[in-house]
């Protein structure tokens, strides 16, 4: 069992995860963000590997990626940063990014390094499911990494069941048909979608992302799902705040959470 699976064993509801782009706002921001998140009681983190052409992302994550690449961030540097934190942090980490940089790094080499750096799982949104099953699944298993797949309101029940079958940590519930950071609030369609998911009795926890930015969206996600992921809103705070600790604090305020 990896750290992420362990977390879901022990905490079943109201989970909160943050996404940030590695190398943003500064090349060496990674350690500070991880430490601040852990201290603030965030349940787990998604570390975004910046990519030049992030198709599924809105302007906030695009800009953070462009800046991170300009800052010199690479997968190699990210692994070095994470290695130095190993043993010093306990917050579960996932790596999230597009497939091409992973292919160029070398798929197995990447997975081996990710696991050695303490990552619990990978989110590669443009990895096709059939290719995962044929070429990647054994590698994920070998390195004890959890694959995380996305579902949207347009994903068929049949496909959701297949994804549930292949997953062993959680399912990433994209709240609506949209790029990241797009929604203002969750309407009736989202609520119905959440209800539909609930009624399917899936074995994996459901964590909602895309559009979590205030108390209302967080509470709606928590009421209907097992947890929420906050990305674009966190990146905005990181850009504005003097340090990561303050950014997490400001975000928690926006989300209507207690700040110590």
Partner 1 sequence: MTVKTDTNPTEVIRKQNIPDERGYYGNFGGAYIPEMLYPNVEELRSNYLQVIESADFRKDFELLLRDYVGRPTPLYYAGNLSETYGAKIYLKREDLCHTGAHKLNSVVGQALIAKHLGKKNIIAETGAGQHGVASATVCALLKIPCTVFMGSKDIVRQQPNVLRMKMLGAKVVAVESGSKTLKDATNEAIRHWINHPDDTYYLIGSTIGPHPYPDLVARLQSVISEEIKTQLMKQEGKNAPDYVLACAGGGSNAAGAFFHFIGNEKTRLIGTEAAGEGVDSGLTAATIYSGTPGIIHGCKTLLMQTPDGQVMEAHSVSAGLDYPGIGPLHAHLHATGLAEYLPVTDTEALEAAQMLSRAEGIIPALETAHAVAALSKLKFKPDDIVVICLSGRGEKDLQTYQQYFQKI
State both tokens at 213: 């930015």
Helix axes 75-85, 107-116, angle to 10 degrees: 20
Helix axes 215-224, 188-199, angle to 10 degrees: 30
Active site residue 28: no
CA distance from start to end of the chain: 31
Q: Is 166 in the site for partner 1 (CB under 8 A)?
A: no
| C-beta of residue 119 within 8 angstroms of C-beta of residue 95 | yes
* Among 10-18, 23-31, 72-80, 232-240, the segment contacting partner 1 (CB under 8 A): 72-80
Residue among 208, 217, 152 nearest 184 (CA): 217
Per-residue interface string for the shown chain with partner 1, residues 85-124, x marking contact by CB under 8 A: -------------xxxxxxxx-------------------
Residue among 76, 75, 77 nearest 28 (CA): 77
Distances 206 to 55, 173, 187, 194 between C-alpha atoms, Å? 23, 6, 19, 9
Out of 6, 52, 137, 184, the residue judged to bind partner 1 by CB under 8 A: 52
Question: Residue 89: beta bridge partners?
Answer: 86
Out of 27, 33, 151, 251, the residue judged to bind partner 1 by CB under 8 A: 151
Out of 61, 117, 127, 233, the residue judged to bind partner 1 by CB under 8 A: 127
Per-residue interface string for the shown chain with partner 1, residues 182-211, x marking contact by CB under 8 A: x-----------------------------
* Among 23-31, 32-40, 67-75, 240-248, the segment contacting partner 1 (CB under 8 A): 67-75
Q: Which is nearer to partner 1, 120 or 155 (CB)?
A: 155
Distances 4 to 15, 22, 43, 93, 247 between C-alpha atoms, Å? 12, 19, 9, 7, 24
Q: Is 75 in the site for partner 1 (CB under 8 A)?
A: yes
Beta strands in the chain (DSSP E): 15-21, 44-48, 93-96, 119-123, 146-147, 150-151, 171-174, 206-209, 227-230
Q: Is 55 in the site for partner 1 (CB under 8 A)?
A: yes
CB of 65 to partner 1, least distance (A): 9
Out of 150, 166, 239, 241, the residue judged to bind partner 1 by CB under 8 A: 150
Q: Is 178 in the site for partner 1 (CB under 8 A)?
A: yes
Out of 130, 158, 199, 258, the residue judged to bind partner 1 by CB under 8 A: 130
| C-beta of residue 64 within 8 angstroms of C-beta of residue 247 | no
Choosing from 43, 57, 226, 250, which is the catalytic residue?
Answer: 57
Active site residue 46: yes
CB of 250 to partner 1, least distance (A): 27
Residue among 81, 60, 62, 59 nearest 70 (CA): 62
The Cα–Cα gap between 47 and 12 comes to 22
CB of 112 to partner 1, least distance (A): 17
Active site residues: 46, 57
**Which residues make up the interface to partner 1 (CB under 8 A)?**
51-53, 55-59, 62, 66, 69, 74-76, 98-105, 125-128, 130-131, 149-152, 154-156, 159, 174, 177-179, 182
């Amino acid at each position: 069992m990896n750290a992420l699976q362990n977390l879901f064993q022990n905490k079943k509801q109201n989970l909160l995860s943050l996404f940030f782009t590695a190398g943003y706002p500064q090349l060496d921001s990674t350690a500070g963000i991880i430490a601040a998140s852990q201290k603030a009681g965030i349940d787990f983190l998604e570390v975004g590997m910046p990519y030049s052409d992030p198709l599924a992302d809105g302007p906030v994550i695009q800009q953070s990626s462009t800046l991170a690449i300009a800052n010199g961030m690479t997968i190699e540097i990210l692994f070095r940063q994470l290695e130095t934190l190993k043993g010093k942090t306990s917050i579960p980490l996932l790596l999230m990014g597009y497939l091409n940089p992973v292919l160029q790094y070398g798929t197995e080499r990447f997975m081996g390094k990710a696991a050695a750096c303490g990552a619990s799982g990978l989110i590669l949104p443009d990895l096709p499911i059939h290719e995962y099953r044929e070429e990647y699944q054994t590698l994920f298993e070998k390195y004890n990494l959890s694959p995380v797949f996305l579902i949207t309101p347009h994903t068929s029940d049949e496909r959701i069941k297949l994804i549930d079958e292949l997953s062993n940590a959680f399912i990433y519930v994209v709240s609506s048909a949209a790029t990241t950071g797009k929604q203002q609030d969750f309407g009736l369609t989202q609520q119905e979608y959440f209800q539909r998911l609930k009624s399917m009795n899936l074995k994996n926890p459901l964590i909602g992302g895309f559009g979590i930015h205030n108390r209302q969206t967080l509470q709606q996600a928590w009421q209907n799902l097992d947890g929420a992921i906050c990305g674009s809103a966190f990146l905005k705070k990181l850009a504005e705040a003097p340090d990561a600790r303050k950014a997490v604090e400001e975000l928690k305020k926006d989300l209507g959470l207690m700040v110590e």
